[in-house]
Amino acid sequence: MRKLFLALIIFPIVALGAETKRTVHVEGMTCPSCAASIEKQFKKIPQVEGVNINIRKGTAVVTVKDGQSLSDDHIREAVKEAGYAVKTID
């Protein structure tokens, strides 16, 4: 019973510290220059911890800082500012 009690106390604390990752499918991103433009825009957003671009898949995986959130509107605006469009956001 004591182990269950400790698990119930510790689990929510661990879950709060989990990073959030958003996968953005970008239309028209085909080269390293495209990727650099998109990465630059995401790095301007204070909530963003990091960005991992995959040109072949046409995706940008955005890691959001612990305890922060990043709206779909902010994501679309960053991609638009780089000169591209968002297909989908996961």
% of the chain beyond a pLDDT of 90: 79
Residue 10, pLDDT score? 46
Domain 19-89 has CATH 3.30.70.100: yes
CB 22 within 8 A of CB 64: yes
What would the two tokens of residue 90 be?
Answer: 């996961």
Residue 78, pLDDT score? 98
Low-confidence ranges of the chain (pLDDT < 70): 1-18
CB burial class (10 A; 0-12, 13-18, 19+) of residue 20?
A: middle
pTM confidence score:
0.78
Residue 21, pLDDT score? 97
**Helix residue spans in the chain (DSSP H):** 2-16, 32-43, 72-81
Domain locations along the chain = 19-89
